[in-house]
Chains A and B, each alone.
Chain A
Amino acid sequence: MPGSLRIVIAKPGLDGHDRGAKVVARALRDAGHEVIYTGLRRTPEQIVRIVMDEDAQVLGLSSLSGAHGFLFPRVCELLNEAGLDDVIVFGGGIIPERDRSALLDSGVSAIFGPGTTSTEMVDFLDSLEV
């Protein structure tokens, strides 16, 4: 169990809904983590820069716009290019089942859809070795 983590919660792309991301941020804060929320409509480049400057170990990506198939792998690719391949990436939002294996292959470690309890997410973070 890694103890307190620094976690960036990000909203990539043109997606104006962040209720879910905020609820997740709050739940992870209450679990004792330091959570940095990026705000809406960030580019993959901006997100990678934020992860670097904030020295975060974990990145949570939230998307409800349907563009996850491009945005999530792009963020993972840029993380690798920046030498941040040790950062754990998880995703959430509206991600259809059929899209998930491609995202997991691209470097996303876990995907949490609607109905996920905050305990599930906290347990996932507790299981990380960082």
Chain B
Amino acid sequence: MERRELARALSNPQDISCPPRIREPWSVLGVTGSPGVGKSCIVDKIVKSWVDEGDKVAVLAIDPSSPVTGGALLGDRMRMSSVDANDSVFFRSIATRNVPGGIPAMLDRMIDLLFHEGWRKIIIETVGSGQSEVRVVAVADRILLVEGPGRGDIIQAEKAGIIELSDIIAVNKSDLPGAEKVAQEIKLSLEMSDTKPPAILLCSAESGDGISELIETINDLPNAKGPSIAKARERLLSANQEILLNHPDFSDVLKSLVADEISIADAMALLKGA
């Protein structure tokens, strides 16, 4: 498939039919974290390193659409100038709307197609806030959570959701004061849980400190032994949500809700049995 043909096919994920990707070795890295922590800059470094190793790398950068106008401003490539003319890098911005059938399922198909076409390293980049975003990143084989200093009470904000899914937590901007404290706080909070905590690394995409260690740790991640409970849970929830969203009466029920004609319980009853 030529590059342009591939780009076109990705615009119509519902029409993609290709065999599912091979899960071992793992190929899909999800990168998530709050706006401004430096996800794009870190992704840029990872992409460069993988391309230097001879890999073909595809990046799918996901941004929310405006729920009001449906429009979206996709600016993730701004910080990735190094990749724009490289034949070994494919970068695609995706707005959450206009993907019929729901993002996680469609993303799975897009990834299968990219893999099938020889893009053996794939990065999903997403804003890590909100439950739907957690679901998007749960499509990935391995997950990197990016944090940074000066964000107040992070653990409180993030709740368990995304930290539970993460394989590595990178505290970026280690050149700024407060980064070490954030890493310490995350470590402390994770020690309280029963499961094996993810690796926590300090790095600075700005100065380059800790970046090669971060990439090495990512490269050394073992293959997932089947989806973890948390990940499976997110996939199940997103599949359930898709059923709801694709229900033929969905928009009618929504209108009745807005008009105060029915309760949420009524609505759920009406949408049952999809």
A42-B84, A50-B77, A54-B7 known; A36 vs B93 contact (CB < 8 Å): yes
Is B225 at the interface (CB under 8 A from chain A)? no
Whether the pair B98, A34 counts as a contact (CB closer than 8 A) is: yes
B91 and A53 form a contact (CB under 8 A): yes
Binding site for A on B (CB under 8 A): 3-4, 7-8, 10-11, 65-66, 69-75, 77-79, 81, 84-85, 90-93, 95, 98
A17 adjacent to chain B (CB < 8 Å)? no
* Contact, CB under 8 Å: A39 / B77: yes
Chain A positions 36 through 62: 1 when the CB is less than 8 Å from some CB of chain B, otherwise 0? 111101110110011011110000000
16 A-B contacts, Cβ less than 8 Å apart?
A: A29-B66, A31-B69, A33-B71, A34-B93, A35-B71, A36-B74, A39-B78, A41-B81, A43-B85, A45-B85, A49-B85, A52-B7, A53-B7, A54-B93, A55-B11, A82-B4
Chain B residue at smallest Cβ distance from A33: B71
A94 and B69 alpha carbons, distance in the complex (Å): 30
Main secondary structure of the interface of B (DSSP, over half): mixed
> B85 — which chain A residues lie within 8 A by C-beta?
43, 45-46, 49
Return the contact of A28 from the options B70, B71, B79 (Cβ within 8 A).
Answer: B71
A-B contact count (CB 8 A): 81
In the bound complex, CA of A38 to CA of B81 (Å)? 8
A90 to B: closest C-beta gap in Å: 17
Contact flags A6-38 to B (C-beta < 8 A → 1, else 0): 100000000000000000011011111111111
Q: Give the complex CA separation of A36 and B71 in angstroms.
A: 11
Q: Judging by beta carbons under 8 Å apart, are A53 and B90 in contact?
A: yes
Known: A34-B72, A34-B98. 20 other contacts (CB 8 A): A4-B71, A29-B69, A29-B73, A30-B69, A32-B71, A33-B71, A35-B72, A35-B73, A35-B74, A39-B79, A41-B81, A42-B84, A43-B85, A46-B84, A46-B85, A50-B91, A52-B4, A52-B7, A53-B90, A55-B7
Q: Are B69 and A37 in contact (CB under 8 A)?
A: no
Min CB distance A55 to B, Å, is 4
**Which residues of A, 41-92, contact B by the 8 Å Cβ criterion?**
41-43, 45-46, 49-50, 52-55, 82-84
Report the contact-size class of chain A (Cβ under 8 Å from the partner). Answer: 20 to 34
Nearest A residue to B87, CB-CB: A49
Q: Is the CB of A32 within 8 A of B70?
A: yes
